[in-house]
Amino acid sequence: MKKPGRSLRAQIAGSFIGLLLLALLMIVAINGFFLEKYYISRKADALKIAFEILKKYETASSAEEISQEWLSESSKQNLSWVIVSEEQEWKIIAGYGFKNDINVMSGRLFGYTHNLETSEDVDKRFELLEKNDDCIIQKSKESVMGVEYMEIWGVFPRGAYCMVRTPLESIQESAAISNSFYFFVGVGIIALSGLCIWLITNRITKPISELADLSLRMANLDFEARYKSSINNEIDVLGQNFNKMSKELENTISELKTANAELQKDIENKIRMDEQRREFLGNVSHELKTPIALIQGYAEGLKENIFDDDAESQEFYCDVIIDEAAKMNKLVRSLLTLNQLESGQDAVEMSRFNLVELIQGVIQKSSIMIQQSEAKVFFDEKEPVYVWADEFKIEEVITNYFTNALNHLDGDREIEIKLERGSVLKVSVFNTGSPIPEADIPNLWNKFYKVDKAHTREYGGSGIGLSIVKAVMDSHGQSCGVTNYENGVSFWFTLDIEKH
Alpha-helical (H) ranges within 77-160 are 99-113, 119-125
Given a cut of 90, whether residue 473 has pLDDT beyond it is no
Q: What is the mean pLDDT of residues 413-440?
A: 90
34 DSSP assignment: I
Given a cut of 90, whether residue 490 has pLDDT beyond it is yes
Residue 429's DSSP bridge partners are 417, 491
User: Which has the minimum average pLDDT: 44-48, 72-76, 244-248, 256-260?
Assistant: 244-248
User: Which has the minimum average pLDDT: 173-182, 259-268, 354-363?
Assistant: 173-182
Contact 403, 465 (CB under 8 A): yes
pLDDT at site 456: 47
Higher pLDDT among residues 463 and 388, named by residue: 388
134 DSSP assignment: S
Over residues 57-76, the pLDDT tens digits come to: 776 665 566 778 888 888 88
By the 10 Å C-beta count (0-12 exposed, 13-18 middle, 19+ buried), 381 is classed as: middle
Given a cut of 70, whether residue 457 has pLDDT beyond it is no
CA distances from 132 to 84, 208, 348, 424, 495 (A): 20, 67, 132, 133, 134
Contact 209, 10 (CB under 8 A): no
d(CA 382, CA 379): 9
Contact 213, 186 (CB under 8 A): no
How many other CB atoms are found less than 10 A from the CB of residue 83?
A: 28
b/e map 276-296, b = 16+ CB within 10 Å: eeeeeeebbeebbeebeebbe
- Please name the amino acid found at residue 58: E
Q: What torsion do the CA atoms of 91, 94, 99, 103 make, to the nearest 10 degrees?
A: -40
Residue 379: closest CA among 434, 326, 427, 440 = 427
SS3 227: coil
pLDDT at site 158: 83
Q: Which residues contact 304 (CB under 8 A, 6 or more apart)?
A: none
pLDDT at site 367: 87
d(CA 101, CA 115): 20
pLDDT at site 341: 59
d(CA 106, CA 101): 9
Alpha-helical (H) ranges within 304-385 are 311-343, 355-365, 367-373
Over residues 116-166, the pLDDT tens digits come to: 765 555 556 788 888 888 889 988 887 666 788 889 999 888 888 899 998
Phi, psi of 233, deg, nearest 5:
-145, -165
Return the H-helix or E-strand segment holding 218: helix 168-219
b/e map 412-449, b = 16+ CB within 10 Å: eebbbbebeeeeebbbbbbbbbeebeeeebeebbbbbb
What percent of the chain is predicted at pLDDT more than 90?
11
Residue 190: closest CA among 39, 388, 21 = 21
Given a cut of 90, whether residue 365 has pLDDT beyond it is no
* Mean of all residue pLDDT scores within the chain: 77
Phi, psi of 142, deg, nearest 5:
-65, 135
Please, which contacts does 330-335 make with residues 24 or more away whose CB atoms are closer than 8 Å? Answer: 330/460, 330/462, 331/284, 331/287, 331/288, 331/462, 331/464, 334/462, 334/464, 334/465, 334/468, 335/284, 335/464
Residue 131's DSSP bridge partners are 136
Over residues 2-35, the pLDDT tens digits come to: 455 556 666 666 777 777 777 777 777 777 677 7
CA distances from 494 to 344, 355, 435 (A): 20, 12, 22
